[in-house]
Amino acid sequence: MEQYAIKGGNPLVGEVEIGGAKNAALPILAASVMTDETVYIDNIPDVRDTKVLTKAMQNIGVMVKHDGRHRVVINASQIHDLVVEDDYIKKIRASYYLLGALLGKYKRAEVALPGGCDIGCRAIDQHIKGFKALGAEVWIEHGLIKTKAERLVGCNIYMDVVSVGATINVMMAASMAEGQTTIENAAKEPHVVDLANFLNSMGANIKGAGTDVIRIKGVKKFHGTEYTIIPDQIEAGTFMFAAAVTKGDVTVKNVIPKHLESISSKLLEIGCEIEEADDCLRVVSSKPLNHTHVKTLPYPGFPTDMQPQITVALALAGGTSIVTESIFENRFKYVDELTRMGANIKVEGNTAIINGVPRYTGASVSSPDLRAGAALVLAGLAAEGITVVDDIHYIERGYEDFHLKLQSLGAQIEIVNSERELQKFKLKIG
C-alpha cells in the first residue's frame, strides 16, 4: 500500500499553483447533467473524488471526455438510467448531488446512500426535507435513496442547520421547479456561490447565493455553457499552514484572497506575516508561533476542513490553545497520531486543549480522513527525523499531486510502496 515517506526539517520556500476547488467541482459536474447541450468545464482538479463521480456519470450514459488534465467536455443527452449505483460511488459524499440534479431534470432519481470521510454523523434530513417541500416523494430502500415527483413546485424552505450539501441539492432541484423557491438559512460557502454561477450560466435564475437567503425562479430548460471552477480554498489554506509549521516562505498562486480571510487572520494571530496581491498570498513564518483559540464555523467562519491543519500548527505554538469543532463531532481522530509524534493535546468532547511543544519527532502514522491526513503530512514536514503516513488514498481524494507540489517547495517527501522503497528513501536522504 502506498505511503508518504517524509524527512522533516526543511523550511518550505517558493510558489505553488493552487488547483480548482474539489467541493465546487463535484456539484458542478453533477449539475452538468441538467442540460442536453454540451458543457465545457475548466479547472477541474484531477483528484480521486472527481474521477469517481465522472465514472458514475459515465455509467448512466453521460458522455464525459477529458480535453487536457483539467478540462472536461460533458454531454448528458444520452442518459439511459436514473439509478446511480456502483461499488465506488457510495464512498464519496458528493454522489448525492446527482439526486438533486436528476430530480430537477427528470423528476426521478435513485442514488446509493453516500459515504465520504468518517468525520461524524452526516445526516441528510435537510436534503430530504427540501426535496419533499418541493413536492417530491423521498424514501430509502436497499441502500439507495430514491426520489420522484409528478412535478416540482417552488416553495419556502428553512434549513434547520446550515448545510453545504443540502443547500446545493435543493438549489439544483428548485432551479427546474415551477415558480419561486426561497432557501433560508442557506450555506454561504464559495462553492455554493460557484454552483449558483454555473447554473445561472446554463440559464437558471438564482439570486442571493453567498447570503443566507437564496431565491430561485424555476426554468424549464438549461442550455450548454463553458465555465471555470474557482480555486480551492482548502488546498491553498493547507499550503499556507505548511509554510507556518516549517518556518517557511510560501506564495500560493491562483487564489481568491477573500475566500481565505479567516485562514489568513488566524495565521497573522499566531505570528506569521501575510502579503496579499490580486490572486496570490505570501505566508512568511520567521518567528516562534503564538497560541490562540479557534472555533470552526460555516463560511465566512474558520472552515472545519482546516481544523486539523491549524491544530498541527498550534501544537507547536508557545502556550495553551483551544480548538473547538462545531460542525462535525468526530473530527479529532488524528490527535492520537499527532500525540505519537510528540504533541500534547487533550480532547474533551468537541474541544481540543493544546499545550504547545517545541518540536515533533517523526513516527509512523495513519490518515484517518482527507484533511487530517494532509495535516499529518504537515506535521511530518515540521518533525525531526522520518515520518511515514499511511492510508494516503484519503489524501488523494482531495489533493492533486500533493507530494510533487510539496517537493517543488523543497520538502523531502516521496510516495513509497514497500519496506524496500522506504529503506531506499532513507538511504537517499541520509
Residues at the site binding ligand EPZ, with contacts judged by CB under 6 A: 23, 26, 93-94, 117, 121-127, 161, 163-166, 187, 304-305, 327-328, 370-371, 398
CB of 98 to ligand EPZ, least distance (A): 13
> Closest CB to ligand EPZ among 43 and 412?
43
DSSP track, 224-268: -EEEEPPB-HHHHHHHHHHHHHTT-EEEEES--GGGGHHHHHHHH
**Smallest gap, in angstroms, from Cβ of residue 43 to ligand EPZ?**
16
Residue least distant from ligand EPZ (Cβ): 165
CB of 305 to ligand EPZ, least distance (A): 4
- The DSSP secondary-structure symbol of 291 reads P
Give the bridge partners for 181, in sequence order. Answer: 216
Nearer to ligand EPZ, 24 or 281 (CB): 24
Looking at residue 289, the DSSP 8-state letter turns out to be P
Coil vs helix vs strand at 176 = coil
* All cell numbers assigned to 41: 468545464
Minimum Å distance from CB 130 to ligand EPZ? 9
Verify whether residue 121 is a known catalytic residue.
no
Whole-angstrom Cα distance, residue 105 to residue 35? 8
- Give CA–CA dist 87/262, Å, rounded: 37
Sheet-wide strand order for 320-324: 293-295, 320-324, 351-355, 344-348
- Nearest alpha-carbon partner for 151 in 109, 110, 103: 103
| Strand order through the sheet with 156-158 | 156-158, 180-184, 213-217, 205-207
d(CA 324, CA 172): 32
Rank residues 305 and 337 by Cβ distance to ligand EPZ and give the closer one. Answer: 305
What is the C-alpha separation between 425 and 357, in angstroms, rounded? 28
Give CA–CA dist 155/159, Å, rounded.
13
Q: Rounded CA gap, 306 and 236, in Å?
A: 10
Q: Which is nearer to ligand EPZ, 159 or 176 (CB)?
A: 159
Compute how many other C-beta atoms are within 10 angstroms of the C-beta atom of residue 413.
Answer: 23
Give me the DSSP letters along 91-117.
GSGGGGHHHHHHHHHHSEEEEEPP---
Q: Are 57 and 50 within 8 A, CB to CB? A: no
Strand, helix or coil at 412?
strand
- The residues annotated as belonging to the active site are 117
